[in-house]
Structure 1
Amino acid sequence: MATPARTQPAWKAPQSSAPAKLKVWNSLTRAKNDFIPIDHEGKEVKWYSCGPTVYDDAHLGHARNYVTIDILRRILAGYFNFNLKFVQNITDVDDKIILRGRQQHLLAQFKEKNPSVTEEVLSTTTEAFDAYVKKNLPLLSPDLKPENFNKESTEKYAAVIAGKSLDGVSTAGDKEAKIKMHLRTAGSAATALLSPVKSTEEEVADFFTGAEDVLLPYLDSLHGPSVDANDHTVFTKLTQKYEARFMEDMRNLNVLDPDVVTRVTEYGDQIVSFVEKIVENKYGYSTSDGSVYFDIEAFEKVSGNHYARLEPWNRNDKDLQADGEGALTKKSSEKRSDADFALWKSSKPGEPSWKSPWGPGRPGWHIECSAMASDVLGEQMDIHSGGIDLCFPHHDNELAQSEGFWSHHEGGHQWVNYFLHMGHLSISGSKMSKSLKNFTTIREALARGDWTARSLRIIFLLGGWHDGVEITDDLRKTGASFESYITNFFYKIRDLEIHPTADASGAEDEKIRKSFEATKEKLHNALADSFDTPTAVRSISALIADYNSANRSALSDKVSFDIARWVTKIVRIFGLDGSADPNDGGIGWSGVDIPSEAKEFVYAVSRERDEIRQHAIAGNLSDELLTAILSKDTPSQKQDAASVPYAEVLSTFQGDVKSLAEKKAPAKEFLALCDRLRDLDLWDLGIYLEDRENAPAMVRPVDAELRSAREQKEAIALQKREAKEKREKDEFEKKAKLAEQAKISHKDMFKTAEFSSWNEDGLPTKDAAGADVPKSRTKKMAKEWEKQKKLHEQYLKGVGGS
């Protein structure tokens, strides 16, 4: 009988004599609560975050979770100045890992035994294909042959393939996404089976790649229990590989390393002790097979204890309960309630095990976090975080068993004060999932250039942390626009550092400072309002808009630098500038500066170019003037290897200027040289000189925006050039055709088989059948005859004929 959902218990707010710095959205209360740390001085914050289950590469959905948590972590530490102890676990043993590790182990053995695609391999793969189709695609014939798969699957699953629900009525969801995955998997295996038998190493590898996902579960169903699970390397070979890749992905996304990393396989003894204490407290019971379950009813009998506090409406959802127990868990008739969940699982053949009072076993999924977090952070923590999909059953089970562990039957124990759950990431409305295989991995996205660490982080800043984020073209454009906006602002400030406006009166200072102070207040209020980063980002954009619209010639440099340092500090706190220190007083973020080894030479050649260009336009380029300009900058004879290309640009430009001066070249050649320096010589080194009216050229790196603009300009120029070439070709062909036509005499032009009689001028009088040519036709041909006569006579004159 289902246990009725209880009312949400009162959350015990932490107490402090000082006012709270911020409010956070707390999943425990489903409301914004004042954030007050347990630490009586209000400085230290204890934070446990659920880490990855490492059996595959992390995808963009994981990036959403971990990058967003990193943003909140940076804001708490960098903006609100809390001292964080941030703990994150690595789940390196659970049902998914056991299955995947064992399956990969068996497939590796199978491939080693069969280095070529033999009849035995084809037979086994066909059986695996049949088993996969029967289990996962029930609308298809149970005896379906691979050669008929495409035709029958297209007919039976037409609605799903078309993006509709299976019934063709309701909205497509995860169920349909799974069907699509199964169709892809079976289709890939069918294609492999239908390919001619291959013998080369590459061809064999292609076959197994296509058939792998049907072979894995099939081989496991045959041989899984026979795997020697006492050899934990069967599983750690997989987990160590993907843990290393996960950490590499996170660093590539500029996610800070945890202060403490815990791994389930390193906590076997502590987890056993943790379960023992829960049983001792009468909240757990063992079964005859050596498993231990959490007793929800016993837990809730004690005043103050409540189960499913995060999502009470899901406490009786059998699908979620089953998912929380894992694919390898078999239903036990000894469970006191269907909702009771495993604390400790007896290990079956082919599963890794650890010693325990109940026999060889392994941890339940949820107990690992409770034991590890309690071991590092103690009986209470400030923050527990993770993806929104972990609320039930994972975090609700964590809460219950942890409070059962720390409880002394004197009432409920509040293990976590604030639960922070990150919203999902979806693309075109579909949530990404490893199990659905509908994801793009982080390393794929970064390698292809779809995203950078900064551009992806900006998207998450714009989306808000606990709301779902759907990546759309509009959101991409908004993110790119913000990044470009900030970059161009930093370009201006960097240029101001090189070309200070010493005569600025500062008349605009008061107006811009008011906007600056108002922005700081808006941003503070936004971050204090449960990390409202979308509003914070908009406030920065608005400040820069005010700055751009100001009369900067009447603005003091100090105000510009103050604003730039503040913007730099905030974007660095958000993690948008790698490992740069938010508090070092620097200006800008990576990508807005040219290489340090280039500066001496590039700034010199830019100054020379500015002066030469200015005098060329004015028509004043005397030898004395050019000599004076070039004498200001003399490259040193020796440079570091990294500086050589830039030094060569300077010396080459100076040499070319001298050559033009010696031959008294016109001003336009000096201007062309200046353009070449900008458009070719420096561009090829990743540097651009942006010419401006009544101001020196701005020296800036060549970025994606500039490259895109140039590519677009070149594409338009190419279109115009191709259109011109086509017009010229058509005109040439037209003239050539006309020239050939001119060679024909007007008296011979109609002497064809269409007619049988002509007059003395060659105009037809009778058609081929002997009938008179109609007058209307004769009139029309006479006009053509006159036109050809003129054309032919002109031709004869041209060749000297008569």
Structure 2
Amino acid sequence: MSARLCVYVCLCTFVFPAFDYGFLLCISEDALRVETLNEYLSSRSYLVGYGRSQVDAEAFALLCRPLPERHVHALRWYKHIAALNDSCFSAKAKRVQPPWSPPEGTDVSKLHLYNSLTRTKEVFVPQKGNKVLWYCCGPTVYDASHMGHARSYISFDILRRILKDYFKYDVFYCMNVTDIDDKIIKRARQNYLLEQYGEKKPSPSQILQDVLTARTPFKAKLAETTDPDKKQMLERLDAAVDAALGPLQMSVQSNAAGDTLQNQAQVLLEEAKDLLSDWLDSQFGSQVTENSIFSLLPKYWEGEYHKDMEALNVSKLILVNNSIYEVLTLCIVLYFLSARQLRLAFLMHSWKDTLDYSNNTMESAIQYERFINEFFLNVKDILRSPTDITGQFEKWEAEEIELNKSFYEKKTSVHEALCDNIDTRSALEEMRALVGQSNTYMAARRSAKLPPNRMLLQSIALYLTDMLKTFGAIEGSEPIGFPVGGNGQNLESTVMPYLSVLSDFREDVRKIAREKKVTELLRLCDELRDDTLPELGVRLEDRDGLPTSVKLVDKETLLKEREERKKMEDEKKKKKEEAARKKQEQEMAKLAKMKVKPSEMFRSETDKYSNFDETGFPAHDAEGKELSKGLAKKLRKLYEAQEKLYNEYLQSTQNGS
């Protein structure tokens, strides 16, 4: 079946009003005439209509020379008419294009990288076109990895991603892993000897004696250590061993037996395993020669390596071994930080400088993630709000123009930062500033009860998401924000329609409850928001005059927010109760003071005064000397003030208050 699409075009003769260029003749000064023409042509290509006409030719004849550069509109028109003057004005005439010259342009930032040989930043120029061959010296791993290993792996992964995904280099990244080395051989030997020691099931007294023996060379090593970090680590180990030694020594000396003794021995064996294995190696290490003992360790760490690399979102690398043994690499346990938070901590510092592994550093990364995530949640909430197709395309006002200008400035600043030795710290700060400006814009629109520009905020959110993906801080294919859910599932798109229905229903219930003054329903709605939904990773934000905002946030964050909110409410309640208590005490003290008769207020102060007149006012001090005029004047003011208070008290008792 075919269909015919009929399009009806109405061709109407459009009559332009005649251009009266006589006003140009009335202007005697050439400069003023050109300025007037320039203003008229600021919104026109020709004097009349959409093509050159006789009017243009006659007006052109009035101008006897080229126009000044500052009158851009008149100069544009003048050059165009001059180019067409050689051709005859007719429908068949061949149109002549005006002359064109390329723009001067601006300098483009080039990637500069720190050259450790020259100790300066040099322009990065690959040897062969766009291809970059990168060899990275990997770790010599013989035990569980620490934060220093994670720093190397993640930092180089960030640099590789930026070179490949941002600067679009064709990067071939190769890293060696040393899996046979004196340290590795020694650690494999120590592990074997310690395992053999445990299999012999030594008695608690034997364990105690061996640890005390092993502690002697360890103490000597501690005394010789000068590096402050290593010395601190050894001191902590010695303190842990010392704490475990005491209970076992007391039990052995008292001939104790049973499970308590065995447990104390196992605690000591666990705390002292490092110094004990070192001592065992010095005594029996030369006897360990079986090759399989040294191959078991790399085989174990190979599997752990792949797990840790995946957990840290570090891309798979080309690995080169130093021997026949298999890969031996990273094993890091993330207890308090997610892989993203750890990566953000490294991004917020220069990749070539020493990193401060303090709590403040890690807390800054957590706060940065929370700040950026909140922006993403707000933008997605705005984009979910219903609108027709025309509502998505709105005229920009001054606020949108200013934010868009800032958006392009920040993108330029981010690019310049990455060109400057891949300065991710400055790049993240520029991104933070962009989010701050966007938040200010959204807050202003919210206060004015006006919708923000969806397309502008969407563009900013898409850019930030793309940059964080480049840095390896965001996985998945979601266009905006951090992914919600795992195993490749887009949890947000699945559950949000149901949550929106629940939110709308709850809002209707709250509206009816407020109108009917049903406080129990309002309490249940608040309970749903504050207690039930946070346990499911859902945050509802009630806003005056606007629909309730629905956001998917990880459960741990919401529970922490609830705990902090409850803590703040408790502190606020405590302060309120404390203020009420102080106010009551002040009122009680004031009431007690008001009950004192003026004639009695000084009589109790026998350590200060010794003689009083008939009204109870002091006349002499404790030594019997007459009061000075200045002191008497001061006391008289106090007396009169108390007299006023006492009269107020009498008045209140008469009124029954």
Same fold (TM over 0.5): yes
State whether structure 2 residue 396 is matched by structure 1 residue 506: yes
Alignment of 1:383-398 (within 5 A): none
**1:549 corresponds to:** 440
**1:217 corresponds to:** 278
State whether structure 2 residue 524 is matched by structure 1 residue 673: yes
State whether structure 2 residue 304 is matched by structure 1 residue 245: yes
When residues 261 and 506 of structure 1 are mapped into structure 2, their CA distance, relative to the original with a 3 A threshold, is same
The one-letter code matched in structure 2 to 1:129 is: R
**1:580 corresponds to:** 476
* Residue of structure 2 aligned with 1:532, choices 423, 427, 432: 423
The one-letter code matched in structure 2 to 1:130 is: T
When residues 176 and 666 of structure 1 are mapped into structure 2, their CA distance, relative to the original with a 3 A threshold, is closer
Instruction: Give yes or no for contact 1:90–1:263 (8 Å, CA) kept in 2.
Output: yes
The one-letter code matched in structure 1 to 2:282 is: S
* Residue of structure 2 aligned with 1:709, choices 556, 561, 569: 561
CA distance in 1, matches of 2:499, 2:194: 58
**2:341 corresponds to:** 455
CA distance in 1, matches of 2:527, 2:218: 64
**Secondary structure of 1:469 counterpart:** coil
When residues 717 and 96 of structure 1 are mapped into structure 2, their CA distance, relative to the original with a 3 A threshold, is same
Alignment of 1:623-772 (within 5 A): 666-703=517-554, 706-718=558-570
Q: Deviations over 1:501-539 (max 9, x none)?
A: 554543243222211111111111110111011111111
Instruction: Give yes or no for contact 2:143–2:187 (8 Å, CA) kept in 1.
Output: no
Alignment of 1:88-127 (within 5 A): 88-113=175-200, 115-117=201-203, 119-127=205-213
The one-letter code matched in structure 2 to 1:131 is: P
When residues 105 and 694 of structure 1 are mapped into structure 2, their CA distance, relative to the original with a 3 A threshold, is same
CA distance in 2, matches of 1:103, 1:596: 53
* Residue of structure 2 aligned with 1:22, choices 111, 114, 121: 111
* Residue of structure 2 aligned with 1:261, choices 288, 312, 319: 319
**2:53 corresponds to:** none
The structure, 1 or 2, with the larger RCO (C-alpha pairs under 8 Å, 6+ apart) is: 1
Q: Deviations over 1:567-619 (max 9, x none)?
A: 11001111111x325xx7x11112498644422321111122223334544x2
**2:408 corresponds to:** 517
Q: Deviations over 1:221-245 (max 9, x none)?
A: 22111112xx322122223323433
**1:491 corresponds to:** 377
Greater radius of gyration (CA): 2
**Distance apart, 1:89 and its partner CA:** 2.1
When residues 137 and 709 of structure 1 are mapped into structure 2, their CA distance, relative to the original with a 3 A threshold, is same
**Distance apart, 1:485 and its partner CA:** 1.9
Alignment of 1:225-236 (within 5 A): 225-228=286-289, 231-236=290-295
CA distance in 1, matches of 2:565, 2:497: 31
CA distance in 2, matches of 1:206, 1:519: 56
When residues 555 and 683 of structure 1 are mapped into structure 2, their CA distance, relative to the original with a 3 A threshold, is closer
Q: Deviations over 1:25-63 (max 9, x none)?
A: 121221111112222x22x21112222222211111212
**Secondary structure of 1:541 counterpart:** helix
CA distance in 1, matches of 2:469, 2:246: 50
CA distance in 2, matches of 1:728, 1:519: 51
When residues 594 and 691 of structure 1 are mapped into structure 2, their CA distance, relative to the original with a 3 A threshold, is farther
The one-letter code matched in structure 1 to 2:268 is: F
Alignment of 1:7-406 (within 5 A): 21-39=110-128, 41-42=129-130, 44-113=131-200, 115-117=201-203, 119-137=205-223, 173-174=228-229, 176-177=231-232, 180=235, 183-184=238-239, 187=242, 190-191=245-246, 194=249, 196-197=251-252, 200=259, 202-228=263-289, 231-258=290-317, 260-266=318-324
Identity across aligned pairs (percent)? Answer: 32
When residues 611 and 181 of structure 1 are mapped into structure 2, their CA distance, relative to the original with a 3 A threshold, is closer
Larger helix proportion, structure 1 or 2? 2
**Distance apart, 1:220 and its partner CA:** 1.3
**Secondary structure of 1:52 counterpart:** strand
When residues 606 and 182 of structure 1 are mapped into structure 2, their CA distance, relative to the original with a 3 A threshold, is closer
**Secondary structure of 1:606 counterpart:** helix
Q: Deviations over 1:435-475 (max 9, x none)?
A: xxxxxx841xx23xx21212221121111111112144554
**2:80 corresponds to:** none
The one-letter code matched in structure 1 to 2:133 is: K
The one-letter code matched in structure 2 to 1:238 is: L
**Distance apart, 1:709 and its partner CA:** 3.4
When residues 106 and 33 of structure 1 are mapped into structure 2, their CA distance, relative to the original with a 3 A threshold, is same
Q: Deviations over 1:177-226 (max 9, x none)?
A: 36525634763674476253566565543232133223212221221111
CA distance in 2, matches of 1:73, 1:523: 17
CA distance in 2, matches of 1:117, 1:564: 65
CA distance in 1, matches of 2:360, 2:196: 49
The one-letter code matched in structure 1 to 2:272 is: A
**Distance apart, 1:105 and its partner CA:** 0.9
**1:569 corresponds to:** 466
CA distance in 1, matches of 2:368, 2:425: 11
CA distance in 1, matches of 2:404, 2:220: 70
Gaps of 5+ in 2: 1-106, 582-657
The one-letter code matched in structure 2 to 1:712 is: E
Q: Which moved more, 1:548-557 or 1:48-57?
A: 548-557
The one-letter code matched in structure 2 to 1:205 is: Q
CA RMSD of superposed structures (Å) = 3.6
CA distance in 2, matches of 1:517, 1:727: 51
The one-letter code matched in structure 1 to 2:496 is: K
**Secondary structure of 2:135 counterpart:** strand
Matched residue pairs, number? 453
CA distance in 1, matches of 2:412, 2:576: 58
CA distance in 1, matches of 2:363, 2:142: 34
Instruction: Give yes or no for contact 1:500–1:557 (8 Å, CA) kept in 2.
Output: no
**Distance apart, 1:72 and its partner CA:** 0.8
Instruction: Give yes or no for contact 1:92–1:236 (8 Å, CA) kept in 2.
Output: no
CA distance in 2, matches of 1:716, 1:188: 39
When residues 110 and 478 of structure 1 are mapped into structure 2, their CA distance, relative to the original with a 3 A threshold, is closer
**Distance apart, 1:20 and its partner CA:** 8.6
Q: Deviations over 1:342-394 (max 9, x none)?
A: xxxxxxxxxxxxxxxxxxxxxxxxxx99xxxxxxxxxxxxxxxx9xxxxxxxx
CA distance in 1, matches of 2:121, 2:380: 41
When residues 20 and 609 of structure 1 are mapped into structure 2, their CA distance, relative to the original with a 3 A threshold, is closer
Instruction: Give yes or no for contact 1:89–1:263 (8 Å, CA) kept in 2.
Output: yes
**Distance apart, 1:727 and its partner CA:** 13
CA distance in 2, matches of 1:178, 1:556: 55
**Secondary structure of 1:610 counterpart:** helix
CA distance in 1, matches of 2:425, 2:512: 49
**Distance apart, 1:702 and its partner CA:** 4.1
The one-letter code matched in structure 2 to 1:569 is: D
Instruction: Give yes or no for contact 2:208–2:245 (8 Å, CA) kept in 1.
Output: no
Q: Deviations over 1:532-554 (max 9, x none)?
A: 11111111111122222225436
The one-letter code matched in structure 1 to 2:301 is: Y
Q: Deviations over 1:138-160 (max 9, x none)?
A: 7xxxxxxxxxxxxxxxxxxxxx9
When residues 671 and 236 of structure 1 are mapped into structure 2, their CA distance, relative to the original with a 3 A threshold, is same
* Residue of structure 1 aligned with 2:510, choices 608, 613, 622: 613
When residues 556 and 234 of structure 1 are mapped into structure 2, their CA distance, relative to the original with a 3 A threshold, is same
Q: Which moved more, 1:710-719 or 1:485-494?
A: 710-719
